[in-house]
Structures are given as structure tokens and as C-alpha cells.
Structure 1
């Protein structure tokens, strides 16, 4: 399994522009930002990449944690690490929200795999869910995809985009061929991790600039 941690320096955030939920304008401080890459065939098979981040206001940094599958035997340890991460964020870092973009599919996958493997972790007991796609639709009446919303917020990605279908095929091969990841070029592995990291960081960037954009709308 690949375990990757990264920190991104964040300029001071102005609460004037941040998304507030039920009057709470500190969501960006009180939340974790969550995105999965996964493989399913009729039903969820495995998590390919677990990506989460939180804002460390003391350090002024976004702290990103990722777990990426390298072979079939990693599928269960990733789930256990995900449970530990969620509980640590709730119990020791006082995080109370989980922010996604169109996160229902990710929650369906991870909840199914938790239940299948008898891992006791109920995300709803730990966090209030905030879906930025729904928040945007409530504000504008428009349904929008992540990449199009990133453009509206002026967010430019590094590297090439990767389709969900191609990622799913990659993780399918990982589950069937124990040596597949060893044959994969390091550049491709890093590209997958960067893609997931940018999904997570985009959630944070949009939530802190929310009202700045919505005012211009």
C-alpha cells in the first residue's frame, strides 16, 4: 500500500467569503474534505485511493492523507485506516463536517465495504455531510460537475485529467494481478495520487471562496 501525506501552505482565509452552513462560517476549520477513487462491478469491490484533508489553522496548512491500493491484500487495511482516520479526526481534532462533491457514490461504496468486512464505522454518527454540488444547486438552481465548477472558481489543475472509467480499470487490474502495480510506471502512480489530491484540495478552495464567487453570480 502507498501511504502519502502532504501539506499545502494556505494564505490566510477570510471568513467574509466562506460557505456557512446553518450560520456556521467556520466550516472550513471544522471539516474534513473527502474523495475516493474506487472500483465497482455491480457492487463495490475495493477502494483504489482514499483521500482526505483538513485545515490546520495554527500552521496555515491543508494536511492531506492518502492511501492507495497496490495489490488485493491492501483492500482490507485501507478500510481499517479509513475508519481510524475518521475517528481520529472526530475524537482528537474535533472535526464535525465531511465535505464532498456529489459524495453519495463515495459514501455508498465505503459504507458497503465497511459493512461487508464487519468494520464498525458509521460516518453519519461522526460527521454532518456537506455536498458542494447540492449547495451550488440550492443557490443557483443549476446542476454542475466538479471540473466545470472549478473553472468558475478559477481553479487550474496540474497534469492531465483522468476519467473515472480509466481509474476503475486500473484498480480492476490491481485486484486481479498481484504484480500489476510493480509494472506500472512510477509516473502513472503519482499522476493518480495527484488527481485525487487535487479533487480534495478543490473542495477546500471552493468552500473558502464560496461567497466571493456567489456574489459575482
Structure 2
């Protein structure tokens, strides 16, 4: 299992254009920004990378945690770590919301696997959901993908875009071959982790710059 903790410095005047929900434009302080890379074949098989972050107001940083699976024997471990992460966010840091982009897929996967492995946890029971794709559709009356929304919000990614099918094939091989991960070049592992981390970072930046870019036409 790869466990990676990262911090991103945030500009202090970042939040003037933050998304306003029910008259509150500071819900980012109470939110977890969440993105999964996963493998589904007819039904959810595994979480390949769990990525989540939160805003540390005291230190003015975005704190990101990632877990990456190395073989099928770590599936229950990554689920246990994910559950522990959410419990810590809710009970210790008092977070109340989970921000995603098209989060239904991620919830479907993680909730299915939590249930399958008897971890007795459902994310939506403890957090309110904020789906930025749905919020965009409400404003613009049309759908959009995350990478297109990043472009609309002036976000330039450091990592190259990896397709969902490519990631699924990689995690499928990891689940079938205990030694596949050890044969993967470190560059490929780092590329997947960076891709996931930037998805999480993008969620935060889109949320906190929302009104600057997303306006009714």
C-alpha cells in the first residue's frame, strides 16, 4: 500500500468567489474534497486510489491524503483506511460535506465495497453531498466533464490526462497478478497518484473560484 500525504499552499485571498450554497460561501471549510480511481467490471471490484483533501484554515493549506493499492490482498485494508479517514474527518475535524465531481459513481463503488466487506459504513449517512457537475448543470443548463470544467476555470494540470479505461485496465492487472505492481515503473505509479491528487486539487480550486467563472448565460 502506498500512503501519501501532500500539502498545497493556498493564497489568502482565494475565497472571495467561492460557491455559495443556501447563503453560505464558506462551506469549503467544512468539506472533504473526494475522488476515487477504481475498477468496475459488471460490479465494483476495487478502489485503486483513494484521494481526499480538506482545507486547513489555521495553516492555510490544502491537506491531501492518498492510498494506492498494490495487490488484491490490500483491498480490505484500503477500505478500512478510507472508513477511518472519513470517521476522522467527521468526528475529529467536524467536516459535514463531501465535494465531488459526478460523485454518484464514487459513492456507488465505495459503498458497495464497504457493504461487501462488512465495514458497516455509508458515506452519505454522515456527510451531505455537493456535486460540482450537478451545480454546473443547474447554472448552465448543460453537462460538462471535469477536464472541460478545469479549462473553463483556467486550471492548468501538471499531470497528463489518463483515461478511465486505462486506469481500470491497470487496476484490473493489479488485482489479477500479485507481482504486477512491483513490475510497474515508478514513473507510472507517480503519474497515477499525481493525476488523482490533481483531481482533488481541482475540486477545491473550482469550488473556491466558482463565481469568477461559472455564471448564468
State if a TM-score over 0.5 links the two structures.
Answer: yes
1:21 counterpart = 2:21: yes
Q: CA deviation at 1:212?
A: 1.1
User: Who is 1:135 aligned against?
Assistant: 135
Q: CA deviation at 1:160?
A: 1.4
Instruction: After TM superposition, give the deviation of residue 170 of structure 1 in Å.
Output: 0.3
Distance 2:192 2:169 in 1: 13
Deviation at 1:130, TM superposition (A): 0.3
Give RMSD over aligned pairs. 1.1
Say whether residues 1:118 and 2:137 are aligned partners.
no
Aligned partner of 1:206 in structure 2 is 206
Structure 1 position 71 matched with structure 2 position 68: no
Residues 15-37 of structure 1 deviation map (CA, whole Å, 9 limit, x = unaligned)? 43100212221111110000000
Q: Quick one: distance in 2 between partners of 1:62 and 1:7?
A: 5
Is the 1:5–1:65 Cα contact (8 Å) retained in structure 2? Answer: yes
Contact kept? 1:80, 1:119, Cα under 8 Å:
yes
Alignment of 1:84-163 (within 5 A): 84-163=84-163
Counterpart Cα distance in 1 of 2:121 and 2:20: 27
1:147 is paired with a residue whose SS is: helix
Normalised by the length of structure 1, the TM-score is 0.97
Pair 1:4 & 2:4 matched:
yes
Q: CA deviation at 1:13?
A: 3.9
Aligned residues: 217
How far, CA to CA, are the matches of 2:31 and 2:159 in structure 1?
Answer: 27
The answer to whether the Cα contact below 8 Å between 2:140 and 2:215 also exists between their aligned partners in 1 is no
